[in-house]
Chains A and B, each alone.
Chain A
Amino acid sequence: MSTVLAATDGLFPAPVLEYKELAPVLIVLGAATLGVLIEAFLPRTLRFRAQLVVTFGGLGLALAALFLAGEQNSILAEGAIAWDGPARFLQGLILVLAVVAFLLFTDRKIDPGRDAFAPRVSAVPGSPEEQVLTQKLIQQTEVYPLALFSLSGMLLFPASNDLLMMFVALEVLSLPLYLLAGMARRRRLLSQEAALKYFLLGAYSSAFFLFGAALIYGYANSLRFSVIAAATASGTSSEALLLAGIGLIAVGLLFKIGAAPFHEWTPDVYQGAPTVVTAFMAATTKVAAFGALVRIFYVAFGPVRDQWLPLMWVISALTMVVGVLFALTQQEIKRMLAYSSIAHAGFLLTGVVALSPKGVSAILFYLVTYGFATIGAFGVVMLVRDGAGEASHLSAWAGLGKRSPGVAALFSLFLLAMAGIPLTSGFPAKFAVFSAASASGASWLVLIGVLTSAVAGFFYVRVIVLMFFTDPQPGQTTTVAIPSLATALALAVCAGVTVVLGVFPQIGLEVADRASLFVR
């Protein structure tokens, strides 16, 4: 059988790349590569400073390139990348969140052993080797290039316009995060276990995504979202391939956003990973993955919405209920925040169910408020410590408001924002997604959302009551560390955004509204 394959003219045409629009991603990738070279060639004493220059310089350049790139919607890189409102908005948001999270990475004052990362990850926990490294104050700086590589995947993920680019971006963003999760200086066994679980479950879910992509390719004979949409609209191929493909792709993406029933990894990884890494990935991964989820379901699978909307409805409701109910029972602050992030994934999914430009702009705005509140909350968790490291058990937070009213008030602000109390950024965000969903006729889902929000308010307020109105147990040794200037700046930015978007939400909503249309 001699099937004539397309494009076998003997020559592959050179691809056209729009460097101006691709510059933010390329700059971040370049900075990450430079970071690897720094690790290889610079003496240990110079590496930290060099990495700071490269990391923040790269992020600054990438942000500048994003602002200078054209506002004209188009398809880049031979169809692989979309350049439209949501892509630009989310790339900007991810870059800013990354700057704030990397400020936390640089802290060298909170932990007496210097920073939050193990001096050498390959050293066995508790071994003489590790003790020597700790005494010498050896600092591991490979985290910066790893985080930058992950960041480049996050920038591509919400902008990818075909299934191959989406899969590669998914892996580029995930693989460095698996390693980063295992690098904590304190409680290393937990950290290694978090890395193992995150890796095995993450790889498992991306295999589902890939097989789904294969089925969709078989169905539509293309990986491009616009061609898939055209094929689903005409409906000439096998329906079974399409439905199985959509389902498998949904598993891969819902895993990344931490939606029930694919949320099991979230509390374990959020608890075990170094808190700075948790802050970084809780905020940016969710932003990137929601961008990708919304794009593929709106652009590629939009014509067959009747097939997947009911399922998305159920997953959204289930995620809200599971997140809130499990958060109620947690005694560990990072696990509680993890379940709260699962609940937020459910609230955000109501915006996906809305399936309208209003829903997209609501999701974009919600992601801004969620990202800053999350980084801020985990940033405060870093400060509250006892002898063994972070005081993660809730009982250690009792009476914190009496000794450190500033820190307790800051944490309360972030919790109130997550609860969606008016005058914090969480309120307009929740209002936006719920009103978009109810405008599209998903009133029952909105009802579930409002009820679960009310229950969620209970466990956020419980922590605030614990901090301000409960006496600490006798013999408690909780202290609040004095952070470095960079950490203080990061927390101030998070608090500022949370308050400003709470009082003047139209600033963010207008930008999100303008950015809500996908290019096809």
Chain B
Amino acid sequence: MNPMNYIYLSAALFAIGAFGVLFRRNAIVVFMCIELMLNAANLAFVVFARINGTLDGQVVAFFVMVVAAAEVVIGLAIIMAIFATRRSASIDEANLLRS
């Protein structure tokens, strides 16, 4: 099978994530969409590593997993603090800051 198809798959996943961030209203779901975008990038890295015959892309995928894990810790901490205060994780209700 042509490995470029996996690149198209990763682009599709990335697009789903990117549009999900724009259209979903729950902070947790928005955050999951961002994780989907990171994983789409991981897939692209690994496929390009396979196509090009170098290891760099596979190594990047490991780094990205670590970064994504750190991001989860920080993101959920922030969303938890907001939820404890407002009893809601909707990003539409976080609207105090405006000009």
Interface residues of A (CB under 8 A from B): 3-8, 121-122, 124-125, 164, 167-168, 171, 175, 178-179, 182, 188-190, 192-197, 199-200, 203-204, 207-208, 210-211, 213-215, 217-218, 221-223, 267-268, 271-272, 326, 329-332, 335
Tell me which residues across on chain B come within 8 A of A171, comparing CB atoms. Answer: 67, 70-71
Interface secondary structure of B, over-half rule: helix
Known interface pairs A5-B54, A193-B94, A218-B44; A204-B34 also in contact (CB < 8 Å): yes
B55 touches A5 (CB 8 A): yes
* Contacts A182-B81, A197-B94 given; does A267 touch B74 at CB 8 Å: no
CB of B34 within 8 A of CB of A210, answer: no
Would B55 and A7 count as touching, CB distance under 8 A? yes
Q: How far is the CA of A191 from the CA of B66 in the complex (A)?
A: 27
Q: Is the CB of B78 within 8 A of A195?
A: yes
Partner of A192, one of B53, B63, B64, B81: B81
Distance in Å: Cβ of A334 to nearest Cβ of chain B: 10
B98 to nearest A CB, angstroms? 8
State whether B54 touches A335 (Cβ < 8 A): no
Number of interface residues of B (CB under 8 A): 52
Q: A122-B80, A217-B48, A218-B7 are in contact. List 6 more A-B contacts (CB 8 A).
A: A164-B60, A178-B74, A189-B96, A199-B78, A223-B60, A332-B99
For window 20-61 of B, CB contacts with A under 8 Å fall at 21, 27, 30-31, 34, 37-38, 40-41, 44-45, 47-57, 59-60
Q: In the docked arrangement, what's the CA distance between A84 and B48, Å?
A: 31
- B80, closest chain A residue (CB): A122
- A residues less than 8 Å from B30 (CB atoms): 200
Please provide the 5 A-B residue pairs with the shortest distance between their CB atoms, ordered closest to farther: A207-B37, A214-B44, A218-B48, A268-B97, A221-B52
A267 (CB) vs chain B CBs: closest residue: B99
Q: Chain A residues with Cβ under 8 A from B96's Cβ?
A: 189-190, 193
> Closest approach, in angstroms, between the C-beta of A19 and any C-beta of chain B?
22
Cross-chain contact of A211 among B44, B50, B71, B86 (Cβ < 8 A): B44
Residue interface bits B82-98, CB-to-A below 8 A is 1, else 0: 10111000010011111
Q: Determine how close the nearest CB of chain B comes to the CB of A413; give it in whole angstroms.
A: 26
The answer to whether B79 has its CB under 8 Å from any CB of chain A is yes
Q: Is the CB of B71 within 8 A of A217?
A: no
Nearest chain B residue, comparing its CB with the CB of A175: B74
Point out which of A8, A189, A330 has the most chain B C-beta atoms below 10 A from its C-beta.
Answer: A189
A199 to B73, CA, bound (A): 12
B85 touches A179 (CB 8 A): no
A203:B71 contact, CB within 8 angstroms: yes
Q: How close is A399's CB to chain B, nearest CB, in angstroms?
A: 24
Q: How far is the CB of A328 from chain B (nearest CB, A)?
A: 11
Given contacts A200-B30, A207-B41, contact A193 B82 (CB under 8 A): yes
Q: Flag if A200 contacts B31 (CB, 8 Å).
A: yes
Q: Say whether A196 contacts B99, CB under 8 Å.
A: no
Whether B63 and A168, one on each chain, are in contact in the complex, defined by CB atoms closer than 8 angstroms, is yes
Q: Give Cα distance in the complex from A331 to B91, angstroms.
A: 25
Residue of A nearest to B61 (CB): A214
Q: Which of A175, A188, A335 meets B71, CB within 8 Å?
A: A175
The residues of A that contact B71 with a CB separation of less than 8 Å are 171, 175, 203
**B residues less than 8 Å from A125 (CB atoms):** 85
Known interface pairs A199-B74, A203-B34; A164-B59 also in contact (CB < 8 Å): yes
Shortest Cβ distance from A366 into chain B, in angstroms?
Answer: 27
CB distance from A256 to the nearest CB of B (A): 15
Q: Cα distance A175–B96 when bound, in Å?
A: 23
Q: Considering the chains assembled together, what is the distance between the CA atoms of A217 and B52 in angstroms?
A: 9
Residue B77 interfacial (CB < 8 Å): yes
Question: What are the residues of chain B within 8 A of A195 when measuring CB–CB?
Answer: 78, 81
Give the interface centre of B49, B59, B71, B91 by most chain A CB atoms within 10 Å: B71
Task: Tell whether, in the assembled complex, residue B53 and residue A194 are in contact, meaning their CB atoms are under 8 Å apart.
Answer: no
Interchain residue pairs with CB less than 8 A apart (29): A5-B53, A7-B55, A121-B81, A125-B85, A164-B63, A167-B60, A168-B67, A171-B70, A175-B70, A175-B74, A182-B81, A189-B86, A193-B82, A196-B82, A199-B74, A200-B31, A200-B75, A210-B41, A211-B14, A214-B10, A214-B44, A218-B7, A218-B48, A222-B56, A223-B56, A267-B99, A268-B97, A271-B97, A331-B99
Q: How far is the CA of A196 from the CA of B44 in the complex (A)?
A: 28
CA distance A216 to B37 in the complex (A): 16
Give chain A residues whose Cβ lies under 8 Å from the Cβ of B10: 214
Q: Which residues of B contact A208 (CB under 8 A)?
A: 18, 37
Residues of chain A contacted by B75 (CB below 8 angstroms): 178, 199-200, 203
Q: How far is the CA of A130 from the CA of B30 in the complex (A)?
A: 30
Tell me the bound Cα distance from A122 to B80 in angstroms: 9
Let me know if B85 and A192 touch, CB within 8 A: yes
Selected from B37, B78, B86, B94, the residue in CB contact (under 8 A) with A179 is B78
Which of the listed residues A7, A210, A218, A271 has the most CB atoms from chain B within 10 Å of its own CB?
A210
A218 touching B34, Cβ below 8 Å: no
Which residues of chain B are near A335, meaning CB under 8 Å? 99
| B56 / chain A contacts, CB cutoff of 8 Å | 164, 217, 222-223
Q: How far is the CB of B29 from chain A (nearest CB, A)?
A: 11
Using Cβ atoms and an 8 Å threshold, which residues of chain A touch B34?
Answer: 200, 203-204, 207
- Compute how far the CA of A210 lies from the CA of B48 in the bound complex, rounded to whole angstroms: 14
With contacts A175-B71, A207-B38 known, is A122 near B55, CB below 8 A?
Answer: no
The residues of A that contact B91 with a CB separation of less than 8 Å are: 196, 200
Asked if B55 contacts A6 (CB within 8 A), the reply is yes
A164–B95 Cα distance when bound, in Å, is 35
Contact (Cβ within 8 A) A204 B14: no
Q: What distance in Å separates the Cβ of B79 from its nearest Cβ neighbour in chain A?
A: 7
A192 touches B55 (CB 8 A): no
A461 to B58, CA, bound (A): 55
